[in-house]
Structure 1
Amino acid sequence: MIYFEYLILAVLVVYLSVRLSYYVDCLDKKTNLSGAFIGGVMLAAVTSLPELFTSLTAVLALDQPDLVQGNVLGSNIFNLCVIGGLVLFTAKRYKDASIANSHKNTLIFGIVMYLLVLFAILKPIEIGAGFFKVNLMSIAILLVYIFNVKTMGEDTSGAQEDDEVYIALTVKQIMIRFLLFSVGLVIVSILLTQVTDKIATELNLGATVAGAIFLGVATSLPELSASVNLVRIGNFNASFGNIVGSNLFNFIILCFADVLYVKGGIYVNESQVMNLLCFGIFSMVCTLGLIYFKKKPAITRVCGILILVSYVTSIALSM
């Protein structure tokens, strides 16, 4: 019964996230914001809502900081698998696709964030007083994210010529629907966290492993759905922005959790976490290869395969 609940909640996460992505797309067509910003910040934030609220539930309601690390780091590797898989199956189309320059910077900033998390685990430096303490690296991660958002907002490369599309909804109507579906996604995400915790207990899995497998995959379904659809219509730029932007946003979740978890530090030194960090960095480097060698299908295929192998290996070694 508990697995059926997990399946139903996962389906609801996909449905709600796809609707939210649609309304973000409607806003995109009614504004003059840069495409990199729309995909890498707005759409990325929307599809990362499940990671955000499942992680906050893990620390506030379940007292499981390990679940947060597994969720965020596992989701990040799975997200990159989406890009790797899509490039493998569409290598010829991808070769001629237009990709924003800022996506390279986002991936590099992502690698920096991985290193900051590693430093937070190995050399924790806490600032604050009393029960309110936060790891110095959480602040550094937040600053890196803000700087990256600024660069994406200024990037107009990778833009595509779109046909005029009539949207009957007004901006106000779009925003109301966006808020309603956001509330629904928050509720479903909280329930999904609780079900995942029960599955972890039943299967006798560690919280980090449960987070990486069950939460990491389920909460990455929005990125998967949105990216597959974007590639289907030929918008590789927005698809890339959604994935790499979501990964950076996920690191901000660790910052929020670090602030809200008053019983200790959110950065836990475990072998499973170290595996996810190492393979996460490796997958980010391979994804950089997808962009730098975009005109060479043979190399991009190798990078795509390595990303998929990285995810499978990280999960296997974490069991």
Structure 2
Amino acid sequence: MEYLLLIIGFVLLIKGADFFVEGSSSLARFLKIPSVIIGLTIVAMGTSAPEASVSINAALAGNNDIAVSNIIGSNIFNGLIVVGICAFISGFKTDKDILKRDMPVNILITFILYIMIANGKISRIEGILLLVGMIFYILNMIRDALKKRNECPSEQSIPLYKALLFIISGLAAVIFGGNLVVNNASQIAVSFGVSQNFIGLTIVAIGTSLPELVTSIVATRKGDSGLALGNAIGSNIFNILFILGMSATISPLHILSESVIDCGILLISGILLFVFAFTKKSVSRMEGAVCALAYIGYTAYLFIR
């Protein structure tokens, strides 16, 4: 039964992502704003719903180490695997706004997070500061979207109600399918004798990032690399500023020493991705393969840690 539910989960993820991307792209055309803005906001927040659910519920239950490790693990996966696989499928040019604004912001807030957790905790005040940072980031996105409305040509799009229906139904299928994959993959792993710690650091973190992965792959195959890259980077920013900010505001987070090391790895991966995107203003298939191999190396390190 676990294998059957696992397959159903993957089907829901793939078909849900297809509808989600189609609806999001149509909404961008309807609003006359670049799809990358939609990717950095609506799509990024929607695909981060599993991370939000896991981390905020963990904070409410007092399982602070899960709240932090889930976010850090998911962000490493987003940067190395989501972007890496999309680049390997089809090398893409880097959106200039993501390169100048969002990737540096991603590195900056990861560095701030590293400084915050170096003393072994994220206080309630620090959580509130992260939430304030999220508000400023969203306001900046809205301002840029309004500026660029006149730059986007008017294109034929599906009706607004249908685009919204695609977004809502697609997101619901993606989240439900992701939960099916995480729960049943965990049960299968347990049956093979894999430790709960390893499952938490890999299957749960990867599982909650499956919406970003599948959505970005679908967007890339549809030729919308701006939405794909915006989704991955936007999700990472949202995960740190909103999800960790909200979790710490609910209950101050106590950090495991391993999470400090993982955050350092996350910072290095963010810088690596920026370097790849900056050179030739694109991410090549070879660079995508390097990102994916780096994640495999990180998983091997978790296995022996």
Same fold (TM over 0.5): yes
Query: SS of the residue aligned with 2:280?
Result: coil
Name the TM-score, length of structure 1 as normaliser: 0.76
TM-aligned CA deviation for residue 245 of structure 1: 0.6
Contact 2:23-2:162 at 8 Å conserved across structures: no
TM-aligned CA deviation for residue 214 of structure 1: 1.0
Deviations 1:175-204 (A, max 9, x none): 456445555655566666665776676645
Q: Structure 1: which amino acid aligns with 2:131?
A: L
Deviations 1:288-317 (A, max 9, x none): 1122113587xx566434422331222222
Q: Give matches, 1:23-62, under 5 Å.
A: 23-60=23-60
Task: Return the alpha-carbon distance in structure 1 between the equivalents of residues 178 and 294 of structure 2.
Answer: 27
Task: Return the alpha-carbon distance in structure 2 between the equivalents of residues 267 and 165 of structure 1.
Answer: 51
Unaligned runs of 5+ in 2: none
Contact 2:52-2:239 at 8 Å conserved across structures: yes
1:143 and 2:132 are equivalent in the alignment: yes
Contact 1:110-1:284 at 8 Å conserved across structures: yes
TM-aligned CA deviation for residue 241 of structure 1: 0.9
1:259 and 2:249 are equivalent in the alignment: yes
1:308 and 2:298 are equivalent in the alignment: no
Query: SS of the residue aligned with 2:105?
Result: helix
Q: What is the match of residue 69 of structure 1?
A: 68
Contact 2:40-2:235 at 8 Å conserved across structures: yes
Q: What is the match of residue 129 of structure 1?
A: none
Higher relative contact order (CA 8 A, sep 6+): 2
1:112 and 2:108 are equivalent in the alignment: yes
Name the TM-score, length of structure 2 as normaliser: 0.79
C-alpha distance 176-228 of structure 1, shift in aligned 2 (>3 A): closer
Percentage of identical aligned residues: 22
TM-aligned CA deviation for residue 285 of structure 1: 0.9
TM-aligned CA deviation for residue 242 of structure 1: 1.1
Unaligned runs of 5+ in 1: 127-133
Q: What is the match of residue 277 of structure 1?
A: 263
Deviations 1:5-44 (A, max 9, x none): 4554354344334433332223222213343321111111
Q: What is the match of residue 84 of structure 1?
A: 84
Task: Return the alpha-carbon distance in structure 2 between the equivalents of residues 198 and 118 of structure 1.
Answer: 33
Q: Structure 2: which amino acid aligns with 1:253?
A: I
Contact 2:72-2:262 at 8 Å conserved across structures: yes
Deviations 1:277-296 (A, max 9, x none): 12211111111112211358
| Structural RMSD (CA) | 3.4
Contact 1:117-1:137 at 8 Å conserved across structures: no
